[in-house]
Chain A
């Protein structure tokens, strides 16, 4: 069935470095790719999303790129800060009802 795979599962960076999280999807009809940040014990919060009519979207230190041909999309965080430490989830459309399918998450640790 439809699937969204996310890598890496854990990522540790030094404060100020960049972090990149990659996701691949299987449903070529998927046209919406949100990214959620979940801090420990809290709810997932949308941080950025991209639709298939654009290849890149930026919001301050966060950017997402989409390659529809290769069916993968990536989250880029520049100048990381300790408060960026969280679990990040990517998602794409493609369930049996066209619903969101989430990746398994990436635990990002930013060390001061």
Chain B
């Protein structure tokens, strides 16, 4: 157990819908990263937050957004869902937010868009 929690574990929804994925970092970690894992694209970095502020943005679609709250948990919002958004979504956390810090991954949320 990495200490990073994610909810829900599974999510099944329809095209066009909107969902919210939630992540709580390890105790004491200030930074949260979101990744998308699909069979053909591997692990893709989406976005990073550090202590409530956006720090880095990767291959995140405009339909997706995220935020980190004062208690340091983070939410990833996916809207206007398409079939191709079906994937595993992981969040990871690290202490200080540098990309060379060890990132600890949560168990992931499996999103299925029908």
- CB within 8 Å of B: which residues of A? 31-32, 34, 36, 42-46, 49, 51, 89, 91, 93, 95-105
Asked if B108 and A51 sit within 8 Å, CB to CB, the answer is: no
* Interface residue total, chain B, C-beta cutoff 8 A: 21
Asked if B99 and A32 sit within 8 Å, CB to CB, the answer is: yes
Chain A residues contacting B100 (CB-CB under 8 Å) are 31-32, 51, 93
Given contacts A42-B107, A96-B58, A97-B57, 10 further A-B contacts (CB under 8 A): A31-B100, A32-B99, A32-B100, A43-B90, A44-B90, A95-B45, A95-B56, A95-B58, A99-B33, A99-B45
Which residue, of B33, B103, B106, has the highest number of chain A Cβ atoms within 10 A? B103
- Measured between alpha carbons, how far is A91 from B44 in the docked complex, in Å? 11
Tell whether B49 is near chain A: CB-to-CB under 8 Å. no
Chain B residues contacting A98 (CB-CB under 8 Å) are 56, 99
Between A and B, 11 residue pairs with Cβ closer than 8 Å are A32-B100, A34-B102, A43-B108, A89-B43, A93-B99, A93-B100, A95-B45, A99-B58, A99-B99, A100-B45, A101-B45
Closest residue of chain B to A102 (Cβ to Cβ) is B43
Asked if A45 and B105 sit within 8 Å, CB to CB, the answer is: yes
Mark B77-114 against chain A: 1 for CB-CB distance below 8 A, else 0: 00000000000001000000001101111111000000
Asked if B43 and A97 sit within 8 Å, CB to CB, the answer is: no
